[in-house]
Amino acid sequence: MGKVFLAASIASGVISQLLIKWRIDAITAGADIPQAWSIKIPWLVINVLFDRFIILSMFLTFLAGVLWMATLSKLEISFAYPFTSLTYVLVLAASCFLFGEPLNGYKIVGALVVIAGLIIASQG
């Protein structure tokens, strides 16, 4: 069951990050964002924090934390924690497909190094 909690925690965190990116892009695209901080802060609160998908992403981040606690109740942290590095790889891959962000050799090599490190770390 610990591995299920771990996978769900990672998935919740990744989905949360992707939702935030998607909504911030949508909210700020072509928006007339005020320059003065005294106006910008209320604008951000109204337009960003009250967005239903931003609220969902905050809930998913909270859920990821709860699932992480459940993970730690079932698995050793020295086993589970390296798997959190998968969030980097998953967000990288999803950002290329969903947002058209560029994927270059450095990012690919970096992701492969993370995966190799995870494979090595999970063996012990």
pLDDT of residue 104 exceeding 80, the answer is yes
Taking residues 9-26, report their average pLDDT.
96
CB atoms within 10 A of CB 14: 20
Which of the four pLDDT bands, split at 50, 70 and 90, describes residue 27?
confident
Token pair belonging to 36: 């003065």
Helix, strand, or coil (residue 75) = coil
DSSP code of residue 35:
S
pLDDT of residue 42 exceeding 90, the answer is no
Of 48, 61, 66, 46, nearest in space to 16 by CA: 61
pLDDT tens readout for residues 66-95: 999 999 999 999 899 999 999 999 999 999
In the chain, what percentage of residues exceed pLDDT 90?
74
What burial class does residue 13 get, using C-beta atoms within 10 Å of its C-beta: 0-12 exposed, 13-18 middle, 19+ buried?
A: buried
**Using CA atoms, how far apart are residues 46 and 81, in angstroms rounded to an integer?**
36
Record the pTM.
0.85
Which of the four pLDDT bands, split at 50, 70 and 90, describes residue 49?
confident
